[in-house]
Chain A
């Protein structure tokens, strides 16, 4: 009897075991090794020399780290706000049937998402290229969209919004379909305007979807690499420091054989993402409770 109970208790673990083994072997193990490596000076071969917190001190004292961190946070905030707002607006318009040709519209909006991020960045590199790009040629400008530090980051933001809107549009549309239509109808009967229904009913009920969207987008953007480097880099080189995301520092350190420092930077990025995620959860939950 006891054996049977034990066997039954073990059953769920057996089903989950393959994932747990893969997680331990492919994530926890390497993450733990990277954590240990972050306290050493190691060039990728030879002996790893223990240096304690030196790598963390170097990275935190490095102005390039703060510049790239600033760029990363800029990309996140500057693209997330307009992109989420646009995606939500389009989803609401489609859900309320304000746009007639919804099937074609959904396809058009989602189309950019079907392109690989590298292909997208290469495309926009030709569109915004200095001197010979499509924008400059058609409009007669000679604007350094990709080389001027004041402009180049906004070009990256534009590409992120262009590519990302379609995906979150679909997510918000799916979220909107989970809201019972009777709630909205009842509010309409009670005389609520469209705006009031949107702000007082739709958005609060959509909060779980929005939390998911903001969190996932934040995590993805904080690990941004492709768009800035393909758009702003040259053959064989990464984006300049004035526009480089934080992951560039990890890549540069690895390429120059500074594995300990690269591991430290990676762990600092992880802590940042975890802290931001936790903070966003708290804020959204507090608002929901209120």
Chain B
């Protein structure tokens, strides 16, 4: 009996051992495979949720590549400035430098000039020919390719078609600054509680370079560090326009993203907004019941060229240990037709690729209400809200795209410009005083922006 039990136990043991060994052998390739996956860290702002959807799309669209590249998304803060701050600290400590950093173009020159961003010229070469011109501008700083563009922020004018028509205003006929002022007055006369635009006492930061980027030769400082605030008349033009719009009665007295901004769209106090294409994401949510009444066109000719802070880019730090993997992720998502069109469907960012534009337009034209969408969600979908042709003017704005030549101290310069412009708008300084103070403060505070 004892011998039989021992024999049975021994057989069972052998069987179990064999089964375990077989299971381990089967798992080994998977383990080895998983061990080969390269983990890259990406920094973004405003939480990780939005970027995580991008990562999920990456896994869905490119499963083979996703098996090799694992993406870890980190959000150091709510705004892009906090990402730049965290990036500076990481560079200073040498620890936790990410493999990829999302930036707005305005924040990039500081790091590009310092040489901490990787040169992507070689890796971008196969894709460069398919980029629209504006995207090629976004990818480069001072002649070197150092970024993967993913979002172009062109200038488009949102306007209430119905109310403009009632006031007898054709946006296409508004060409000069004076035409714009006349249109604004006429609109307000016809609709006394409504305005053609909004601007308050403290214009939001993007107004400045949206307007200045219209003039390709305008820059804040020369390469030798000389500030051009007094030498270039466009800075005077900029602050004059901001003050005139506010004081002329054609603008609703509130600034973008102030508490009154959203309700002012909802109750039709604001019936126009010369701004950027990302507004397609906000306006439907501000005034969902106004679907079908808003049109999109280019800015008036007198300031049609340019962009809003350039646009969004992905950069790869020089210290990154996984540059190739990081580039492969970004290039798949933004520089391939399937990735970039999917990006547009998810985020509203139009593709930066020439070859994918038609596919994007075709998909938009044939888009029906996605299954499972509630009425409220469908109402605010841009192609439902603005109409199926809403992408055309946005793509047209890319033909007018120009990236302002930001320098490494762009953020500090913007703070100074805003401060003095607010003093001018508020009446505590004359135009000359404000411009002099701008120039003096930049010289004293910044010195040569190209030297630290």
Chain A residues within CB distance 8 Å of chain B: 41-47, 49, 58, 61-64, 125-126, 129-133, 144, 146-149, 234-237, 240-242, 252-258, 261
Contacts and interface: CB of A to CB of B under 8 A. Distances in A.
Contacts of A132: 259-260, 263-264
Contacts of A129: 259-260
Interface in B97-128: 110, 114, 116
26 contacts: A41-B447, A43-B114, A44-B91, A49-B452, A62-B441, A62-B445, A63-B441, A126-B259, A129-B259, A129-B260, A130-B253, A130-B254, A130-B258, A131-B260, A131-B264, A131-B269, A147-B253, A234-B202, A234-B256, A240-B202, A241-B423, A242-B426, A255-B411, A257-B412, A258-B445, A258-B446
A44 B201 contact: no
Nearest to B412: A256
Contacts of A149: 201, 426
B254 A131 contact: yes
Interface stretch (B10-18, B79-87, B351-359, B394-402): B79-87
Nearest to A144: B253
Given A147-B202, A235-B257, A236-B79, A242 B422 contact: yes
Contact of B88 (A146, A240, A257): A257
Contacts of A41: 447, 452
Given A43-B110, A131-B254, A258-B412, A125 B259 contact: yes
Contact of A147 (B116, B201, B437, B447): B201
Contact of A241 (B255, B422, B444): B422
Which 8 A/B pairs are nearest by Cβ-Cβ distance?
Answer: A44-B88, A45-B91, A256-B412, A235-B257, A256-B411, A45-B92, A129-B259, A234-B257
Say whether chain A's binding surface is mostly helix, strand, loop, or mixed: loop
Given A241-B422, A257-B409, 8 more contacts: A42-B452, A63-B441, A125-B259, A144-B201, A234-B258, A256-B412, A257-B88, A257-B110
Contact of A234 (B85, B204, B444): B204
Nearest to A236: B79
A62 B254 contact: no
A52 B204 CA distance: 35
Interface in B222-262: 253-260
A131 B252 CA distance: 10
B415 interface: yes
A129 B201 CA distance: 14
B201 to A, nearest CB: 5
Interface string B416-452: 0001001100101000000001000100111100001
B89 interface: yes
B205 interface: yes
B310 interface: no
Contacts of B116: 45
B256 A240 contact: no
A275 to B, nearest CB: 25
A255 B410 CA distance: 11
Contacts of B88: 43-45, 257
Contacts of B447: 41
A45 B260 contact: no
**Which of B89, B255, B419 is packed against the most chain A CB atoms within 10 Å?**
B419
Contacts of B200: 147
Contact of B441 (A45, A64, A148): A64
Contacts of A147: 200-202, 253-255, 258
A237 to B, nearest CB: 7
Contacts of A255: 81, 84-85, 411
A45 B444 contact: no
A234 B255 contact: yes
Nearest to A254: B85
Given A234-B255, A236-B79, A258-B445, A45 B422 contact: no
Contacts of A237: 202, 204-205, 257
Interface in B54-96: 78-79, 81, 84-85, 88-89, 91-92
A181 B274 CA distance: 70
B422 A240 contact: yes
Contacts of B446: 258
Contacts of B256: 234
Contacts of B202: 147, 234, 237, 240
Contacts of A45: 88-89, 91-92, 114, 116
B319 to A, nearest CB: 10
B219 to A, nearest CB: 18
A231 to B, nearest CB: 10
